[in-house]
A and B are shown apart, each in its own frame.
Chain A
Amino acid sequence: MFSGLDALGVSLVNFLNPTALAYTFGATVLGIVVGALPGLSATLAISLLTTLTIKLPPNDAILILICAYVGAIYGGSRTAILLNIPGTAANAAACLDGHALARKGEAGRAMGIATSGSVLGTLFGLLCLALFTPMLGEVALSFGAYEFFWLALLGVLMSGNVVAADPVRGWIAGVLGIFVACIGQDGLYAHERFTFGSTDLAGGFQLIPVLVGAFGFSEVLVVMSERAARPAIASFGSALPRVGDVLRHWKTILRSGAIGTGIGILPGVGEDMAAWSSYAVAKRLSPEPETFGRGSVDGLMAAETGDNAAVPGAIIPALALAIPGSAPSAVLLAAMIIHGVQPGPMLMVQNPAFVYQVVAMVLVATLAILVFGLVMIRPLLVLLRVPRTVMMPIIFVLCVVGSYSIASRLFDVWVMLGFGAAAFLMRRFGYPVAPFVLGLVLGDILDKNLRRALTLSDGDLTPFVTRPISAVLAAIAVFVLLSNVPAVGAALGRLKARVLPSTGGAA
């Protein structure tokens, strides 16, 4: 416990130098800007910045990525409040009450609520990150190949289930992601799979060009293909967070922090589900549920606390298990591996100080969003007025240069273009990109651990469902799959109605 505090203190002191502070401020501002611009996501910010920071020392590079991550999830609330357009998917729930407050002439107050909710939510998640990562890491030391196989599969299944309007489409996207991860030399025998004699494919697809394509280039295509009017921005008052708003809604903040962090920890679920779940629970427990959607402070506080608490939450499994909690944390995980950090159960044994460095990074990022949340309102409004037709071609060029810069190979640019165009088409036809990315990141873990587990059991499948943790994970995976079979879903609905007859329509 005290050694953890000691390590955290040392990490914080290490960040108190001009270079680290400059990186913190710059990356947080960039994250807020990217998050605020509709169409650009936290995943895009982290993917692009990974390519730009590839030559920096690992700690500086990861600090930049975490600041951009925290900044982007927070920044999206600005456009949700002012324009009724969520800057990122995580801020969609904030539109409901945030914009309703703005329409009442209370946009400044709404931004203050979003800022206080985001800061407190991140701090709550941060506390859990510091406390639970070492614990989870310790538990994970007892995990074997069976458990890691189920965790990887569960991450893809849950992401597909939650992110897509149609789970089958989400699962197909996830399976495709795992399949793409299998292309190239396999992890056990270096045997080439699906390379068709191509030397470029023998090394497999580099993760970052694929991610830049799937999240960067595809988003550029989506935005460029839509005509958008210049935003009309409502007037607003002071955006200083009000102490009264925080004190009156302390229960909502604590509850949403816990929900957000918990959902963040679930593999592959992500920040948007954290925001919606926090919002739904706040509405169900509110004495004034009818005000939700009409400018409820409680609703906005719940949504913004929930999604930001999910950020440190999603980093917990990424560090302790090497299983990311969300799409942005999947990219963060990939960046850590590129920079020579090996997340997973052995992290707390081999490099325990790194966990506290990450905690310190999230803490400085949180302080930075508090500062820039207050001072960056007007510059952000100017940026929001820059036409997308000007912004998007420049972002595309950055995607190209970023993909090329990793290994100075034109093949990586082509990979970025190919996967970007494919992701664009997938999105047009309702296939979500997040499960694909989760599948891509988790594919190697799933592949190696399934084969290792089968080797250990000599082809016997029973350990997959008889080891205690494995059995629980298997049961959840089967439940996720079966709950989408219409007959099973209807039966579950009837059961829920019988057990909870009075609360059925509250949410």
Chain B
Amino acid sequence: MADRWFGLGWAVLGTAIAAESWRMDRLEQQHINPWTVPGLVPGLLGLLLVVFGLAMTFRRRAVSVIGDAPAADDTRAEPWRVALALVLTLGFGFGAIGTGLPFGLVCSAFIFLAITLFEWPERRQAGTLARGVAIAALVAGGSALAITTVFRDVFLVRLP
């Protein structure tokens, strides 16, 4: 069922790309060869997306799919981990860096939060929360210092 909706989604996206390519300037005032118009390849790609999307929608059986990353037996994606990973990383990338705060500080705060929160359930169960927090603080401080020093002073890179 999901295949059908995805297929339709790709077909709609492909149509939008093809339509936008068709509307694209054909540079006629520059007298270019009509076979080299900028919208030609994106337009064809849009049509290909439509074909593949429709093939996905109308094929008889859904293909069982495994991800391209081989997963270990003992691993399984957990929704709260997915949400937390997205919130932390996107929050760090879009919200924290480039705001004027020192990069080392933001970096260590991110690493500390990530380690602490992801290890929270296991640490709480094992009764080692305080130890976990201390280790996270140590790792966060050390790695932030190492990353900022190496990039700024060794690779001579400006930090965000």
Contacts and interface: CB of A to CB of B under 8 A. Distances in A.
B78 to A, nearest CB: 6
A430 B65 contact: yes
Interface in B1-15: 2, 6, 10
B126 interface: no
B24 A400 contact: no
Contacts of A83: 72
Contacts of A189: 27, 30, 32, 36, 38
A388 B73 CA distance: 16
A292 to B, nearest CB: 19
B46 to A, nearest CB: 8
A193 B36 contact: no
B40 A55 contact: no
Among B55, B114, B158, B159, which residue has the most Cβ atoms of chain A within 10 A?
A: B114
Interface in B101-157: 107, 110-111, 114-115, 118-119, 139, 143-144, 147, 151, 155-157
Interface string B57-90: 0011001111111111111111001101110111
Given A417-B90, A430-B65, A397 B70 contact: no
Interface string B20-45: 10001101001011111011111011
Nearest to B158: A408
Indicate the size class of the contact surface on chain B.
Answer: 35 or more
Nearest to A456: B35
Contacts of B143: 394, 397
Interface centre among A39, A176, A430, A459 (most CB of B within 10 A): A430
Contacts of B56: 168-169, 172
A486 B93 CA distance: 45
A219 B69 contact: yes
Contacts of B84: 224
Residue of B69, B76, B90 ringed by the most chain A CB atoms within 10 A: B69
B113 to A, nearest CB: 8
Contact of B151 (A193, A401, A433): A401
A421 B147 contact: no
B147 A398 contact: yes
Interface stretch (A84-92, A303-311, A340-348): A84-92
B1 to A, nearest CB: 13
Contacts of B38: 186, 188-189, 191, 193
B115 A389 contact: yes
A427 B85 contact: no
A67 to B, nearest CB: 18
B45 A178 contact: yes
Contacts of A166: 63, 65
Interface string A193-212: 11000000000000000000
B100 interface: no
Nearest to B20: A194
A446 B41 contact: yes
Given A86-B70, A169-B65, A401-B151, A194 B42 contact: yes
Contacts of B159: 401, 404
B81 A455 contact: no
Given A225-B78, A397-B107, A450-B41, A404 B114 contact: no
B86 A421 contact: yes
Contact of A405 (B24, B49, B107, B155): B155
Residue among A38, A225, A387, A429 with max Cβ neighbours from chain B (10 Å): A225
B90 A421 contact: yes
Contacts of A416: 93
A397 B147 contact: yes
A114 interface: no
A227 B42 contact: no
Nearest to A221: B85
A498 interface: no
Contacts of A387: 119
Contact of A393 (B10, B25, B98, B115): B115
A227 B115 contact: no
B69 A396 contact: no
B49 A175 contact: yes
A454 interface: yes
B63 A405 contact: no
Contacts of B27: 189, 191
B39 to A, nearest CB: 7
A89 B48 CA distance: 29
B68 A458 contact: no
A194 B138 CA distance: 46
Contacts of B60: 486
Contacts of B73: 84
Contact of B93 (A55, A92, A389, A414): A414
Contacts of A178: 41, 45
Nearest to A186: B38
Interface in A217-235: 217, 219-222, 224-229
Contact of B64 (A86, A165, A222): A165
Contacts of B63: 165-166, 168-169
A6 B151 CA distance: 38
A76 to B, nearest CB: 10
Nearest to B85: A224
A221 B85 CA distance: 6
28 contacts: A89-B70, A163-B68, A175-B52, A178-B41, A188-B38, A189-B27, A189-B36, A193-B38, A217-B89, A222-B69, A224-B85, A227-B76, A228-B74, A228-B75, A389-B119, A400-B93, A404-B157, A405-B157, A408-B158, A410-B97, A414-B93, A427-B67, A434-B68, A447-B41, A451-B40, A454-B36, A455-B33, A455-B36
Interface of A: 38-39, 52, 55, 83-86, 89, 92, 163-166, 168-169, 171-172, 175-176, 178-179, 182, 186, 188-189, 191, 193-194, 217, 219-222, 224-229, 387, 389-390, 392-394, 396-398, 400-401, 404-405, 408, 410, 413-414, 416-417, 421, 427-430, 432-434, 446-447, 450-452, 454-455, 458-459, 486
Top 9 closest pairs, chain A to chain B, by CB = A430-B65, A454-B35, A393-B114, A432-B68, A226-B75, A224-B85, A166-B63, A405-B157, A225-B82
